[in-house]
Amino acid sequence: MKKLSALLLSVCLGVTAFAQPVKKVSIIPEPVEVKETAGTFTLPKSVSIAAPASAGITANYLKNKLQAATHSVITTKSGGTATIQLVLNKSNNAVIGKEGYMLTVSPKNIVITANEPAGLFYGVQSLLQLFPKEIESQTQVARAWTVPCVKVTDYPRFAWRGLMFDVSRHFFTKADVKQYIDNMVRFKFNLLHMHLTDDEGWRIEIKSLPKLTTIGAYNAKRVGYFGSFPAPPADEPRTYGGFYTQDDIRELVKYAKDRYVDILPEVDVPGHSLAAVTSYPELSATPGADKYHVRSGEEIMDWSHGQPPVALVDNTLNPASEKTYEFLDKVMTEVAQLFPFPYIHVGGDECPKNFWAKSDSVTALMKRENLKDYEEVQSYFEKRLEKIVESKGKRFLGWDEILEGGLAPNAAVMSWRGIEGGIKAAKMGHEVVMSPTTYAYIDYMQGDVSIEPRVYATLRLSKSYSYEPVPDGVDASLIKGGQANLWTEQVYNMRHAEYMTWPRGLAIAEDFWSPKSKKNWDNFAGRVENQFKRFDAADVKYSPAVYDPAITASVGADGNVQVFMSTELKDLDIYYTWDNSFPDNHYPKYTSQLVVPKEAFELRVITYRGGKPIGRLLTIPVTDLNKRAGKK
C-alpha cells in the first residue's frame, strides 16, 4: 500500500550522531523528569504488591513478569503497605493527567502513584525497564535483582500513540496480534490500528454477509516479492488466509483493553475492496466482476502515472449503487458493535477512478448530483458513508485522500502522504492523526537495499526519531497524535513483523510521548542499544540496521562513480574492500568518498566498534552502485 512519487521515494537518511554510554536510568520513551537518588532497591525473596481493585489487572501483570524471571515469591493484595505499592491519588494531580504517573524507588520500597489506572500501568512499564535486562526472560534467572533509586514524573505529550498492523495482506493469527500488543505496551503505545480489509483478504466476520469470509478471506499462497507474482490459475485451490470470528475480536478487544490499548478497526473503501467485490460482485460498477478473485500478489495496479493509480482490475465499490450503501450499513452495524473505540477508519486511499469513468451508473450519478469530476464522486461516497458511520454512534476517520473533492463535515483525517493533508485538515478545523510516510512507514527498508528485503523506499531509525508531529502554524489542539504504519505486503510472518517494527517503533513511541524539549538523538541512541539487550532476553526480533552504513553514489566531474558512506552512530568505523575478499579492521578504513576502481566487480563493507565487528557485511555489485549514481 501507499505508493509515492519519485521525489518521495528517495532514500531517507537520518542525521549522524554519537551513541552515548548507557546511563543508570534508561527508559523509552524518555520520561518528562527523572531524578536519580542515592542507593538501590534489591528485590527481596518475598514480594508483596498492593493495588486498588481497579488496578488489579496491572498488579497481576507485574506479578506475572516478576514471577517468570525471578526466584522471588510474589503476592498481591488490595491496598496497604507493601514492597511495591500502586496508589491512585485521592485528589487529582493536574500535572500528570489521565495517563501520567509518579514513580519513586527507594532502598526500602517502590511506589507508583497516578490519577487513573492507566497511569499505574505505564508506571509499571517504566519500573520494568529499570530492572536488569533479564526481567524480560520467560524462565527464572539466578541473579541479584536491583533497581536504581529514582524519582520519575511522567505523562504523555499526545493522547493518540499508535501502531497500525496490516493483517489483510497476510493473515496474522489471534495469538500473533496479542504478541504484537504485548510488545507495544512496553513502550506506552495505547492504540492498535487493525487494517482488516483489502484486496488480499477480508479478515473480520460479518454475520449478515457470510461470503466476506467464506470467499473473501482466502487466496492462493505465494512467497517471494509480493506484487510481482503471476495470477493464479482459476482452478487453483484458495486456502491461504483466514479471518477473526466475532468472538475472536471480542477477545482481542478485551486483551488490549486490559493493557490500556484501544483497537481502531479499518474497513478500507471504496478502493482496496477486491476481497469484498469478489465475495459480492453486485457491489462493482464493472461487468464481469463475478470472474474476479481475491488478490494473491499479482499486479492489479499501474503506478507509472502516479496517483491515483490506474486499475488493471476494478477493486472499487460502486459509488452510484444503493447496494453499496446497504452493504456498508450492514458492515458498519456489526463493526460498531464489536469495537468500543469511538472511531471507525474507513480507508479512502488510492482509489482508482478509471473504471468509474467507464460506468454508465457513475456517469448518471455525476449528472444527477452535479459532480464535476471523480474526486467529487468519491467525496459524495465519503459523505454518505460518514452518515452511516455516525448513525452507529461512531466517528468517521479516513486517509488524507478524503480531503479531495470536499471533506465530509465531521471527518477526522489520518495524514499519510507527508504532513500536508494534516495541515490542510487542521486549518479547516478537523482533527488530525499524523502518520507521514517520511517518518512513520515502518514497512520501508531500514538499511541498505543490498541486505534488506527489498521495498521501494528506505526509512532509517534516526529519520523516524527526528519527527515533530505538530507542523508550524497549526492549532496543536487538533493534532490528536499519531502512529507508525506496518503494511505487510512483504511481511509474511510474525518474526519479520517484529524485525520491521523494532527499533523504529521505539522512535515513534518517543515522538508521541516525550516532551519535545527532551528529545535528543545522542541520548536516545544509547537507550536503544540498551533495549536491544532486553529484546534479546525477551526473544523479540529487531533490526540491527542502525549499525550499518548508509551508502550513496554519484557521478563526479570526471565521469567516475563516487561512493559516499555515513553512519547513524559516529563511534563506528567503516572498513571496505574492492577485491572480493571479506573486510575486517585490517582493511582500508573509510575516511572520505571512494572512486570505484575501473575493473572492480563489487564493494564489500562492514562496521566496527572498539576493534570488534558490529555491523552486517554488505556486498554491493558495482552495477548497483552505477544505478545509484544514475550512470547509464
pLDDT tens-place string over residues 52-71: 999 999 999 999 999 999 99
Smallest CA-to-CA distance from 542 within 619, 440, 442, 448 is with 442
Catalytic residues: 350
pLDDT band at 308 (very low <50, low <70, confident <90, very high): confident
Q: Model confidence at 133, in pLDDT bands (50, 70, 90)?
A: very high
At residue 307 the predicted structure's pLDDT band, cuts being 50, 70 and 90, is confident
* Residues 495-534: tens digit of each pLDDT: 999 999 999 999 999 999 999 999 999 999 999 999 999 9
Name all domains of the chain by residue range, CATH numbers in brackets: 33-154 (3.30.379.10), 174-519 (3.20.20.80), 548-629 (2.60.40)
Rg (CA), the chain: 26
Average pLDDT, the chain: 95
Are 162 and 483 spatial neighbours (Cβ–Cβ below 8 Å)?
A: yes
CA distances to 105, 314, 317, 362, 627 from 288, rounded to whole Å, are 68, 10, 14, 17, 42
Mention every residue, 6+ apart, whose C-beta is less than 8 A from residue 88: 52, 54, 55, 113, 114, 115, 116, 117, 120
Confidence at residue 23, expressed as pLDDT on a 0 to 100 scale: 60
Binned at pLDDT 50, 70 and 90, residue 15 comes out as: very low
SS (H, E, C) 262-318: EEEEEEEECCCCHHHHHHCHHHCCCCCHHHCCCCCCECCEECCCCCCCEECCCCCCC
Mean pLDDT confidence for 172-192: 98
Question: Is a pLDDT exceeding 80 seen at residue 583?
Answer: yes
Q: Considering only CA atoms, which of 269, 274, 266 is closest in space to residue 299?
A: 274
> What mean pLDDT is predicted for residues 451-462?
96
Contact by Cβ (8 Å): 548, 42: no
**For residue range 548-570, what is the model confidence (pLDDT) as tens digits?**
999 999 999 999 999 999 999 98
**How high is the pLDDT of residue 6?**
35
User: Is residue 12 predicted with pLDDT exceeding 60?
Assistant: no
Alpha-carbon torsion 328, 388, 195, 171, what sign? negative
Beta partners for residue 194, in sequence order: 165, 265
pLDDT at 20: 44
At residue 21, does pLDDT exceed 50?
no
Mean pLDDT of all residues in 448-454: 95
Q: Of 490, 421, 494, 507, which is closest to residue 456 (Cα–Cα)? A: 490
pLDDT digits (tens, 9 = 90+) for 150-162: 999 999 999 999 9
- β partners of residue 262: 191
The answer to whether 443 and 487 are in contact (CB under 8 A) is yes
In percent, how much of the chain has pLDDT > 70?
Answer: 96
- What phi, psi does 417 have (nearest 5°)? -85, 65
Query: CA 467 → CA 13, 27, 179, 233, 464, distances in Å?
Result: 13, 19, 27, 45, 6
3-state secondary structure of 395: strand
Distances (CA, A) of 629 to 443, 551, 560: 25, 11, 10
For residue 10, what pLDDT band results from cuts at 50, 70 and 90? very low
Confidence of residue 632 (pLDDT cuts 50, 70, 90): confident
What average pLDDT does range 393-420 have in this prediction? 97
Q: Read off the pLDDT of each residue in 424-447 and give the average, rounded to a whole number.
A: 98
pTM of the model: 0.95
